[in-house]
Amino acid sequence: MKGLWVREEELRVEPKPFGAPRLWKWGKIRTALEAAARLVPTNYKGARRAIQLVHPALGTWTSHTLGFAVQLVKAGESVYSHRHTAAAMRFVLQGGEGVYTITNGEKCVMERGDLVIQPNWGWHNHINETEEDAVWIDCLDVGLMHLLRTMFQEPHPSEEVRLYNSPVDNTVRNPAALAPVGGKAKKLVYKWRETFPALTEMLPQDKSPFDGRCMEYLNPATGGPTFPTFSCWIQMLEREEETQTHRHTANHLYHAFQGSGTTEVDGQEIAWEEGDFFVVPNWTWHRHVNGGSQPAILFSTTDRPLLETLGVYREESR
Ligand code: GTQ
Ligand code: FE2
């Protein structure tokens, strides 16, 4: 037992960031992936060759709710199907027409800049039929699953590593808002060839007050975020652009997809270049600055939808 009055101070304070801002350089990740490509097989069930971005304050994932990893599937390689309660997405860094992931029997082609999603508890395996290694970013709500103690994972019972039952690309079968009669809109792939023009042609009045030229990957079936638990954003920082300093109760994981810049987080300057990753922890002041002469593109994920659903999303600027 404990007198509640003793806790008054600790209960009244503001949320604490889960840790400090942090940067992961692409050069180091690439070296680790190259070593993993030599040393780590994926010929057993459920195995993935992925380098996780582990925040030192946690020792587990990238933030307390989300996990970023970079995965490599070698030329000609396939990995086994499995499913888990964590929702997953892939943002493609190196892909091609012959690189795809299969979600519940649907083939999704993965080309550079494409976002492919795997709703929770869906079977998925990855196949690379090209002559080049494929590399992509994984983001899963693994931190949240562990906080809730709801993490289940199981391998597919099949012995067939190349398991898939549909040779037709999902973007062909489910274009735009067409669905079988009585069926629901379903979107598993967001193609870069659609994302990039949408981002560059965005109207000035549609810019976000805090993040400028920024778009969210919506789920057309709900009109809401990419997943109930987290969402994916794509943002362009124009030449000399500076976003407004702000903070929110949600955390953001970032990947510099194109260009370079700096993000001031908690008074610290994080200088990022193409390929780098960084995290802006919850309730931490930040703003992005593109001091360069080229536009920069940031891909990010955030647990904001989860907090909004619970009514605990808050933001403020200064
Ligand atoms: O590719 O299925 O980085 O299940 C972590 C968990 C990738 C995957 C990760 C996964 C996967
Ligand atoms: Fe998985």
For the CA of 69, the closest atom of ligand 1 is 3
Q: How far is the CA of 124 from the centre of ligand 2 (A)?
A: 6
Q: What is the DSSP letter of 26?
A: H
Token code pair at residue 201: 């042609």
| Residue 152 binned pLDDT confidence (cut-offs 50, 70, 90) | very high
Q: What pLDDT is stored for residue 298 in this prediction?
A: 98
Whether 287 has a pLDDT exceeding 80, the answer reads: yes
| The CATH number of domain 18-317 is 2.60.120.10 | yes
**DSSP single-letter state for residue 73:** E
User: pLDDT category, 43, cuts 50, 70, 90?
Assistant: confident
CB 186 within 8 A of CB 117: no
- Gap from CA of 164 to ligand 1 centroid (Å): 18
Tell me how far CA of residue 258 lies from CA of 215, 235, 296, 310, in angstroms.
16, 10, 5, 34
Between CA 251 and CA 64 the distance in angstroms is: 9
- Looking at per-residue pLDDT, the higher value among 180 and 52 belongs to 52
Cα 12 to ligand 2 centroid, rounded to whole Å? 39
Closest Cα to atom 1 of ligand 1: 48
Mean pLDDT, the chain, whole residue set: 94
Alpha-carbon gap, residue 15 to 282, rounded angstroms: 8
Nearest-CA residue for atom 11 of ligand 1: 48
Please list every protein residue whose CB sits less than 6 Å from any atom of ligand 1. 48, 50, 69, 71, 84, 88, 124, 138, 140
Q: pLDDT at position 46, please?
A: 73
Can you tell me which atom of ligand 1 is nearest the CA of 153?
4
pLDDT, tens digit, for every residue of 190-243? 999 999 999 999 998 999 888 889 999 999 989 999 999 999 999 999 998 999
Exposed/middle/buried for 245, CB within 10 Å: 0-12, 13-18, 19+? middle
- Is residue 136 predicted with pLDDT exceeding 90? yes
* Among protein residues, the one whose CA lies closest to atom 9 of ligand 1: 138
Cα–ligand 1 centroid distance for 298 (angstroms): 22
194: enclosing H helix or E strand: helix 192-200
Q: Which pLDDT does position 79 carry in this prediction?
A: 95
For residue 50, the model assigns a pLDDT of 97
Write down the domain spans for the chain: 18-317
pLDDT at 26: 98
Q: Given this model, what pLDDT does residue 4 score?
A: 86
- Stated as kind and residue range, the H or E segment containing 154 is strand 153-155
Band of the pLDDT at 143, cuts 50, 70, 90? very high
Contact 97, 111 (CB under 8 A): yes
138, 139, 156, best to mutate for ligand 1 pocket (most atoms within 8 Å of CB): 138
Ligand nearest to the CA of 50: 1
Would you tell me how many other CB atoms lie within 10 Å of the CB of residue 111?
A: 18
Closest CA to 84 of 48, 134, 30, 115: 48
CA angle in degrees (0–180, nearest 5) for 156-140-80: 25
Non-local (6+) Cβ contacts of 1 within 8 A are none
How many whole angstroms from 81 Cα to the centroid of ligand 2?
Answer: 8
Q: Which pLDDT value is given to residue 6?
A: 86
* pLDDT above 80 (res 45): no
For 246, residues 6+ apart whose C-beta sits below 8 A from its C-beta are: 210, 285, 286, 287, 315, 316, 317, 318
d(Cα 120, Cα 256) in Å, to the nearest integer? Answer: 26
Residue 174: what pLDDT?
86
Query: 11 pLDDT exceeds 80?
Result: no
The pLDDT of residue 184 is: 87
Mean pLDDT of 72-100: 97
- The ligand 1 atom at the shortest distance from the C-alpha of residue 101 is 1
Report the separation in Å between the CA atom of 302 and the middle of ligand 1, taken as the mean of its atom positions. 18
What pLDDT was estimated at residue 131? 98
User: How confident is the model at residue 251, as a pLDDT?
Assistant: 98
* Amino acid (1-letter code) at residue 209: P
Task: Give nearest CA residue, ligand 1 atom 7.
Answer: 138
Quote the ligand 2 centre to 82 CA distance (angstroms): 6
